[in-house]
Structure 1
Amino acid sequence: MRNYNINRLKHKAKLGTIDQDEGKNGMPINVFKAQRDIWFGEYRFSITQDPFANTPVGARNTRAVVIRHDTTVKTWQALEINGLDYQITDIEPDDEVNGLDILTLVAYFDGSDNNGGFDDDNNNGSDQM
C-alpha cells in the first residue's frame, strides 16, 4: 500500500464485538460493545480490481477501509461506522514500516429484518435505532 496517503486516515470508527444481550421482552438481541476507537480511510477499487463485482446482491453492503497496520485487529471483531455495525470479514495485512491494512467489512444484520439481511433503499441496511 505504498500509494495510499496517510492523511486519508481521517475517519473515526469504534472497534469492538457483537455480543448477545437480553432485550426488554426477554428475547436475545445483538449489541455492539465498543473496545476502542480506530482511525480509518476509505478504500475504493477500480472496476477490474473489485472483488465484490461478481457476488450476490447482499455484497452491496460490503466496503473496504484502510487502517494503520495493527496485529490486534481480528476477523471476529466488528467496526461501528456512523452508527452502522460492520463485521470484519477479511484483513489484508501490510507489516512493513508504516504499513497499512485493508479491512473488508460486511454490514451486520441481526436477522430481525424481513428481507433476509439484504439492504433496501429506505433504511440503508440498519435495523438499529
Structure 2
Amino acid sequence: MALQLSSNSQLKSSYKPYQLNKTADFGVVGSVENGAGVNVPKFQKKLTLHYARVKTTMTQKYLAAGTELEDTSTIAVRHNNQLENMQQCVVNGVTYDITDVSPDDEMYIAYDFVTLSKIKRGGGK
C-alpha cells in the first residue's frame, strides 16, 4: 500500500542549479564479513548526486501522521535511471532507507523525488 501524500504535480518540479547544493551518496546494502567471521550488512556506495530538500507542508505532515510515512523526508535530484535500484542513501553521515522513488523522465530537465526514512538501530523503523 502506497500512500501518496504528494504527487509530482504538487511538488515543485523545477529547481535552479544553486538549489541542488548538497550531495548525497546512494547505494545498496551488501554483506561483509566482520573480524569474528559473521556476515553483517554494510552500505556500499554506488553513486553521488546533488540534491535539494523538498519542503513538507503542514497538511502533508498531518496526513502522514500514524502511517508508515510519518517520519520520512523527501529530496529532489536530477533524473537518474539508476536510482530505482538503490536501497539506501547517506546524507551528512546519516543513513536512510529509500522508501520510494518517484521518477520523472518526461521533461528535458527532469527531477526525481526520493522519499527517505531514517534507519533506527536496535530493531525499529
TM-score range relative to shorter protein: 0.7 to 0.9
Superposed displacement of residue 16, structure 1: 1.2
Which segment drifts farther, 9-18 or 45-54? 45-54
Aligned to 1:66: 76
Unaligned runs of 5+ in 1: 119-129
* Count of aligned positions: 112
What TM-score, normalized by structure 2, do the two folds share? 0.74
Identity %: 26
Root-mean-square deviation (CA, aligned residues, Å) is: 2.3
Residue in 2 that maps onto 1:9? 20
Q: Distance between the aligned counterparts of 1:49 and 1:92, measured in 2? A: 16
Higher helix share: 2
Supply the distance in 1 between the matched residues of 2:54 and 2:35 (Cα, whole angstroms). 39
Q: Which stretches in structure 2 are left out of the alignment for 5+ residues? A: 1-11
Secondary structure of the corresponding residue to residue 60 of structure 2 = coil
TM-score, scaled to structure 1: 0.72
Distance 1:75 1:46, change over 3 A: farther
CA gap 1:48/1:3 in 2 versus in 1, 3 angstroms = farther
